[in-house]
Structure 1
Amino acid sequence: MRLSRPFFQLPVLFDVERLQTEVAALPVEAWGPHPDRAPGNSASRLISAGGGETDAVHGQMLPTRWLNEAPYLRQVLAGFGVVWSRSRLMRLAPGAVVPEHADINYHWHTRVRLHIPVFTRPEVRFHCDGEVVHMGAGEAWIFDNWRRHHVENGSEAERVHLVADTTGTAAFWQFACGPTPPREQWRTVGWEPSARSQLLTEHDQRSSVMPAAEVQLLIDDLRAEITLAADTPEVRSRAARFDLMLQGFVQDWRQLCGLHGIAGEGKADFQRLAGAVHQAARPLAEGLVMRTNRAGALLVLEKRVLQHLVADDLG
């Protein structure tokens, strides 16, 4: 999700000792490779599709057995009062990095990632769009993951963050991005053994066919962000034709939704249209990039839109 600046620190603090105790108690089998297999990166799943050992972003999100064995982590997440999607503990080995990237997938169009550091050192640095911060243990941060970002663990110890994805409520966004009181006025959320934490998790968000209104939203957002890698007459011409192609795609998708609905009927027609648009976009997208993070326009079209238009396993 795009934010007005790279980083926001939320005005709340958590019990570092309790966080560290619960994370340190997790068994070896709770940890697995990072989803992207990045060297020195590993993860423990806390909320996942079906509560299983998966990194899927689709499906009914449920707490895993590891989160059920960590009551304070559950209390921390429940305390925000938001609906959580995929959430994990992310571990970074001494000297390791999270390579620079931007999160352009469909999942991130409406979601933000909350970071709560558990184990960290001052040498750990989080970079986003030219700004650099150290996120202290027990703090809470969000950042604009549409921008280019990376993490460096320059310390001799493992870094572990609780990371949790959400679309956020109005109250959450006001809390996260509104006026920040002096730090001495921030609330510290301690461990409450008697607390009954109501953890809210995402239902399966997929429909058989993406509604026309959502396709319009995604395409309009893409069109507004496209710029030229090099300002030449040829690239300008391709940009104009690419824009017209995207507008026509939305119009044709709306017609198919009108004809078939979105429950799964006429799925082959939707798939043919998506395939035709993909083929038409390939030559036109050359030299077109995203203004904010310089990602290629074709790659963003694929990952944010085309790959999510029709769910083959639904309907």
Structure 2
Amino acid sequence: MRLSRPFFQLPLLFDVARLQAEVAALPPQAWVAHPDQVPGNSAARLISAGGAETDAVHGRMAPTPWLEAMPYLKQVLAGFGVVWSRSRLMRLAPGAGVPEHADINYHWHTRVRLHIPVLTWPEVRFHCDGEAVHMGAGEAWVFDNWRRHHVENNADGERIHLVADTTGTAAFWRFVQAAKPPRDQWRKVGWEPSADHPLLTEVNPRSPIMPAAEVQWLLDDLRAELVVAVDGPEARARIGRFGQLLESFALDWRQLCALHGVDGVAAPEFQHLAMAIREAARPLSEGLVMRTNGVSALLVLEKRVLQHLVAEDAAGQREGLS
């Protein structure tokens, strides 16, 4: 989800001591390596598909046993009144970092990531699109993860953040974007043993075939961000042809949906069309990037669109196209 600026700090303050106590009580087996095996990065899963030890983003999300053992942290999440997707505690070892990247996958097209630092140090810096902040313990932040960002832990101690994914309600976004009062007027959210806020979790099934309207929406968004890395007549002509290719693909996909529906019975025909656009896009996409983050247009097409067009069907076809 693209935001109007790199960082938003919410006028909320949480009970740091209680957060730290609940996290410290987790057993060592709660912590697992980063899915991409990034050195010094580990996580404890709090909300996951089926409440299981998985990093999947599809399915019925549910609290894990680790979250159930942390009543205040669960109350913190429930108190926002939003629907949560995959959520974790994310830990950075001393001297470790998160390499610069932009989150371009399909999951992030409509979701944002909330950060609540649990254990941190002044030497920890979060960088996004040329700006850098220190997120203090017990604070709440969201940031534009479509932009390029990275994290540095230059402290001697580990850094642990509560990191939770959501699309957010209208009320949530009004709260995020509203003018902030002075810090001494921020709401302090302490432990309330009698609080009865339900924890809302996402149900995110996979459609066998992505509907035509969603394909059009994703491609229109891609085209709106499309620019040339180095300007020139040939590059401008290529960007025009690339845009026409995307529009032609959307029209042909719509026709296949009209002919076969989206139940996956004709998955091979959809797969064939998706593979054809991938091959046609390769030569046209050279030097074409996203305006906001400089990521290759071809990579965004593959990661945000093509890999999610056709899910695994009843015949056991391979999920995605790569």
Q: What TM-score do the two structures reach when normalised by structure 2? A: 0.96
Map 1:7-46; keep pairs closer than 5 Å.
7-46=7-46
**Aligned residue identity for 1:26:** L
- Tell me whether 78-87 or 196-205 shows the greater mean CA deviation: 196-205
2:290 is aligned to 290
How many Å apart are 1:314 and its aligned residue? 6.0
Structure 2 vs 1, CA of residues 314 and 292 (structure 1 numbering), >3 Å: closer, same or farther? farther
Distance 2:36 2:168 in 1: 26
How far does the alpha carbon of each residue in 1:84-131 deviate from its partner, in whole angstroms, 9 at most, with x for none?
000000000111111110000000000000000000011110000010
How far does the alpha carbon of each residue in 1:15-39 deviate from its partner, in whole angstroms, 9 at most, with x for none?
1011000000000000010111111
How far does the alpha carbon of each residue in 1:194-234 deviate from its partner, in whole angstroms, 9 at most, with x for none?
32341111112321111111111100000010111111332
Distance 1:220 1:276 in 2: 19
Map 1:127-166; keep pairs closer than 5 Å.
127-166=127-166
Distance 1:45 1:313 in 2: 28
2:260 is aligned to 260
Distance 1:46 1:83 in 2: 14
Distance 2:239 2:5 in 1: 28
Once superposed, what is the RMSD of the aligned Cα atoms? Answer: 1.1
1:243 is aligned to 243
**Aligned residue identity for 2:269:** D
How many Å apart are 1:60 and its aligned residue? 1.2
How far does the alpha carbon of each residue in 1:215-264 deviate from its partner, in whole angstroms, 9 at most, with x for none?
11100000010111111332222211111000000111111111112222
**Aligned residue identity for 2:41:** N
Q: Which runs of 4+ in 1 moved over 4 A?
A: none
Q: Secondary structure of 2:59's partner?
A: coil
State how many pairs are aligned: 315
Distance 1:133 1:314 in 2: 48
Q: Secondary structure of 1:60's partner?
A: strand
Distance 1:213 1:183 in 2: 44
Distance 2:63 2:201 in 1: 8
1:63 is aligned to 63
1:105 is aligned to 105
1:120 is aligned to 120
Unaligned runs of 5+ in 1: none
1:215 is aligned to 215
How far does the alpha carbon of each residue in 1:133-181 deviate from its partner, in whole angstroms, 9 at most, with x for none?
0000000000000101001111111100000000000000001112212
Map 1:190-201; keep pairs closer than 5 Å.
190-201=190-201
Distance 1:64 1:77 in 2: 14
Distance 1:20 1:193 in 2: 18
**Aligned residue identity for 1:115:** H
How far does the alpha carbon of each residue in 1:5-24 deviate from its partner, in whole angstroms, 9 at most, with x for none?
00000111111011000000
Percent of matched pairs sharing the same residue: 74
1:276 is aligned to 276
How many Å apart are 1:313 and its aligned residue? 4.0
Distance 1:296 1:238 in 2: 14
**Aligned residue identity for 1:139:** E
How many Å apart are 1:274 and its aligned residue? 0.7
Q: Secondary structure of 1:29's partner?
A: helix
Distance 1:314 1:140 in 2: 43
**Aligned residue identity for 2:178:** G
